[in-house]
Structure 1
Amino acid sequence: MTASNVDPHARAVFDEAIVIDGLDVSDFSRPEVLEDLSAGGVTAINATAAVWEDFEQALENLSAWYERFELYAEWIRPGRSTDDIRAAKREQRTAVIFGWQNAAPFGTDLRRVQQFHELGLRAVQLTYNERNLYGNGCWEITDDGLSRIGRDLVHEMNDVGILIDLSHCGDRTTLETIEYSKRPVAITHAYSRTTFGHSRNKDDTVIRRLADRGGVIGTNAFPNHYPAGFEATVDDFVTAMEYLIDLIGVEHVAIGTDFCMGRDQAFFDWITASHGRKVFRDMAPAPNPYRHLRGFESPRQFVNIADRLVQRGHTDNDIRALLGGNWMRLFDEVWDKTG
């Protein structure tokens, strides 16, 4: 389905909604990637600004973003607060939330949490697939949970107002963080391991506990995490979303695409490495060029999610919550340091 074939009511609901992608790891150096976000009606994204980078490289990545804000101001703006996101909606631009998929750039100096927050960092995943100083990733054989400094980091991010992401963390690390955090946390891009036994998907017990503590899970659109792989479709995505809705309630479910627009094979080799070695866990060979879910192949097709949800009988209020309202509620609670 193309955007031109969307049900008029679904289009109207989509156009009035705040639409948020909880995780996007695209090649943002490409102007067309930024234009597609704005043209697709995406109000805000959690844009990955570090994965394997060290402290200095993470700083360089944020500097590059501030250059983009000047060069491409017609499409994007900084997303440091929910007020920024609401402004982006009015301006028909996309608010860019700085996020990391690995807390490693903090190192052992947790003063950096406040420093990076002042530079705009608003979401940080504790680990990326493997063990680091703070906890264990989902690719490790064993999971010893949060380390002592991991607990200190959780406490510091709570105090500063940075959203904690647990998508690539191991189950024990995820559960311990959910329990230890004073604020709700997120699984920005995953779905249920019950529906597909991929290591990156989450156990239902973990998902339930996330919701019990007020958190949100972003339904992932990464083809490797679906039974049909690169033949999966937008309908499979909505089915995955509906499974989560039935499991924990609509108020805890959102979207986190894991879009990789403009990325090449060298990027996937880099991002799926472990301890510097090229490894592939639960990863089917990717087509070249890379392809996302059929019918949800770029940000310009976000409206197709609203279309399918209308077709399946979801209410307008629920659709608005799923598209971005639930992320806004969580951001308001976590980013407000006085809350």
Structure 2
Amino acid sequence: VTAVNATIAIWDDYESTLKTITRYLKWFDEFEELIRPVKTVDDILSAKLENRTGIIFGWQNAAPIGNDLSRLRLFHELGVRIIQITYNERNLLGNGCYERVDDGLSRFGLAAVKEMNRLGILMDLSHVGDRTTMDTIENSDGPVAITHANARSQIDHPRNKTDEAIRLLAERGGVIGANAFPMFFERGFDTDLEEYLDAIDYLVQMVGPDHVAIGTDFCMEQPRSFFEWLFMSQGKIPATDIPYTPEPYQHLRGFADPSDWVKVAEGLLNRNYSESDTKKVLGENWLSLFAQVWSK
């Protein structure tokens, strides 16, 4: 794997996120032969040449900025390149996909969208509510991403996205990463690679191969307690009902870890995808989107 969108914030605040970045800076020195920071597309290309893995700092929740938009510039300077508007629930910017009511972006959220446009931070809408998703796409000056979700019209789950949102995302030049997380498929942790390829196919048929990519949502080696924390309200209030996850954790069958990426490539080629379109889905579409957004 040449580069990963490494989640460094979910239910985290300003100080804890700074501590995580500080820890990564130490790791970049300690494991220099294996990993490197990514701030530009050239950094990803260099990682490929160096046989290292590029680490893209990504947030699954904009909460670390609190109510201070100036912190976006600070975190951008520290290397944050992808920020999800909300994570499952409401924050100061908007509403998540599990929130009781979604009334779209707040005034603060609209201002944050414009500031991320100015800085060149890619906005992610994977865990975001339907109206907040549409608001973000419509109000962004550039393309945005749904880094890890599937089509709700294919698999009816609140974490998957509406056809309306997916089509508008593509019309505005964005990319959706087909999600390989088993919990969001009908057969859960019995889901296999062929079903994942079906999800990719469904999206490609909807918006074309230029707007679909891979969103693994890998949670390798995470214990049950990690998922209990993920499903807490604001990371504090325990959920009353948490979906099943195996322990030790396993991803979907046939795409269990990064070593199985070649199986995805082979599966697409076996489904008569051209070599050019296969390359787009496997990573070139992400590179094109990053280049467009990060260059600002």
TM range (shorter): over 0.9
Counterpart CA distance in 2 for 1:280 and 1:121 is 33
Per-residue displacement from partner, 1:222-241 (whole Å, max 9, x unpaired)?
Answer: 10101111000111111100
Counterpart CA distance in 2 for 1:52 and 1:199 is 20
Q: 2:119 aligns with which of 138, 149, 160?
A: 160
Counterpart CA distance in 2 for 1:317 and 1:271 is 37
Structure number with higher relative contact order (C-alpha < 8 Å, ≥ 6 residues apart): 1
- Find runs of 4+ consecutive structure 1 residues off by over 2 angstroms: none
Matches within 5 A, 1:169-184: 169-184=128-143
Q: What percentage of aligned pairs have identical amino acids?
A: 52
1:185 aligns with 2:151: no
Please name the residue that 1:8 is paired with.
Answer: none
Counterpart CA distance in 1 for 2:274 and 2:127 is 31
CA RMSD of aligned residues (A): 1.0
Per-residue displacement from partner, 1:255-280 (whole Å, max 9, x unpaired)?
Answer: 11110112111111111111322226
Please name the residue that 1:196 is paired with.
Answer: 155
2:208 partner amino acid = G
CA contact (8 A) 1:229 1:284 kept: no
Per-residue displacement from partner, 1:105-159 (whole Å, max 9, x unpaired)?
Answer: 1111111111100100000001000011000000012110000000000000000
TM-score (structure 2 length as normaliser): 0.98
2:53 partner amino acid = T
Shift of 1:286: 0.8
Matches within 5 A, 1:163-312: 163-275=122-234, 276-279=236-239, 284-312=243-271
Q: 2:9 aligns with which of 38, 43, 50?
A: 50
Q: 2:59 aligns with which of 100, 120, 139?
A: 100
Equivalent position SS for 1:123: strand
Counterpart CA distance in 2 for 1:278 and 1:236 is 32
Shift of 1:93: 1.2
Equivalent position SS for 1:190: coil
Counterpart CA distance in 2 for 1:328 and 1:139 is 30
Counterpart CA distance in 2 for 1:135 and 1:99 is 18
Matches within 5 A, 1:49-198: 49-198=8-157
TM-score (structure 1 length as normaliser): 0.86
Counterpart CA distance in 2 for 1:280 and 1:65 is 34
2:48 partner amino acid = K
2:136 partner amino acid = T
Counterpart CA distance in 1 for 2:238 and 2:182 is 20
Equivalent position SS for 1:273: coil
Runs of 5+ consecutive residues of structure 1 not aligned to the other structure: 1-41
CA contact (8 A) 1:155 1:181 kept: yes
Shift of 1:284: 3.2
Give aligned pairs, total. Answer: 295
Shift of 1:254: 0.4
Equivalent position SS for 2:131: helix
Structure 1 pair 119/306, CA: closer, same or farther in 2 (3 Å)? same
Counterpart CA distance in 2 for 1:71 and 1:205 is 45
Runs of 5+ consecutive residues of structure 2 not aligned to the other structure: none
1:305 partner amino acid = V
CA contact (8 A) 1:244 1:253 kept: yes
